[in-house]
Amino acid sequence: MRVDKGRLIIRDGNTHYPSPKRQFEYFKGSLDIPPRIVLLDGSGSITLDAMDWLAEQQVPLIRVKWNGQFLSLLTSGGQAADSEKLAWQMRARECETEKLAFYLPLMITKLENSLDTLRGYLPESRERDAAEDKISVYLDRLRSDPPAALKTLLGIEAQSASVYFKSWRALDLKWRPSKHHPIPDEWHQFYSRGSLAVRNRGGANIFATHPVNAMLNYAYTVLLARTQIQAIADGYDPMLGVVHTRSRSSYGPPRPGYAIDLMEPQRPKVDRVVLQLVREETFSGADFLLQSDGVVRLGTEFARRLVGELTK
């Protein structure tokens, strides 16, 4: 990033072969100057003239990791977020009415996407029919008679998720027999979204004990990274959740609460990638790593395959 004849010149890097290198040019005061610039990982250089140019034009330069975590900030204003948007986030997280106004449309979209996923990607079963019926009732209620309390809305979300994942028990995973990579019997079918590894501590989905949950966790991590980066690019603080307000998870890591808020409607769409793989793929025990504590992780090659499917 440098300045040439008064213009800011940004030269993009290679992300994958054969991606072309791009160059962006911005004149001072131009209408196409972005409100902020976000750099994703990588390496490169920036001149002092470019830093002065950004300060003069009041354009924050934000650097984040591939997963959306904040790395550094260069700004003349002291913050990366848009001041009006940040003020709204601060106000909304303290106001029940604002919370409901924000989260209700997200939940309506989430239930709509959940129904589409149930109908198009889950095998027929009594559980699937029951899930469709119950989520349809909830969806009609949210549209025609929205709840007056956030607690009620969150209860509908939780009950919908329960019947939604219960219908996944009809999944039948196919495995290639292998003496070198044997698998536990319980990997042939899906039982629960919850983790057996932490069942005595209230459960935590991040510690997957089944391959399907390991795939979901990985897919949701990719989705969260994208959402977090987009929130930063849009001028919001991704850590300042409106509904997901806990600053840290039960197991320590900071929670990008606002990004979690925003990603909820997209979860069922990400689920479709996992369900499509389950329907079409014959898995190998080598695709997954079973750790000493019973937690399942994706193998490197299979993780690449999943990312490839998610980015199509």
Residue spans per domain, the chain? 2-80, 89-310
3-class DSSP string for the chain: CEEECCEEEEECCCCCCCCCCCEEEECCCCCCCCCCEEEECCCCCCCHHHHHHHHHCCCCEEEECCCCCEEEEECCCCCCCCHHHHHHHHHHCCCHHHHHHHHHHHHHHHHHHHHHHHHHHCCCCHHHHHHHHHHHHHHHHHHHCCCCCHHHHHHHHHHHHHHHHHHHHHCECEECCCCCCCCCHHHHECCCCCCCCCHHHCCCCCCCCCHHHHHHHHHHHHHHHHHHHHHHHCCCCCCCCCCCCCCECCCCCECCHHHHHHHHHHHHHHHHHHHHHHHHCEECHHHEEECCCCCEEECHHHHHHHHHHHCC
Sign of the torsion formed by the C-alpha atoms of 203, 207, 211 and 212: positive
| Domains 2-80 and 89-310 fall in the same CATH topology | no
Residue 202: per-residue pLDDT: 47
Q: What is the pLDDT of residue 16?
A: 61
C-beta separation of 279 from 122 below 8 A: no
CATH among 1.10.20, 3.100.10, 3.30.70, 3.30.1150 for 2-80: 3.100.10
CB 175 within 8 A of CB 284: yes
Q: To 5 degrees, how large is the angle CA 145–CA 245–CA 239?
A: 120
Q: What is the pLDDT of residues 104-135, one digit of tens each?
A: 999 999 999 999 999 999 999 999 999 999 99
Distance of CA 15 to the CA centre of its chain: 21
Of 3.40.50.1100, 1.25.40.340, 1.20.120.920, 2.40.33.10, which CATH number belongs to 89-310? 1.20.120.920
What are the residue ranges in the chain where pLDDT is below 70? Answer: 14-19, 66-69, 76-79, 198-204, 248-253
pLDDT of residue 198: 66
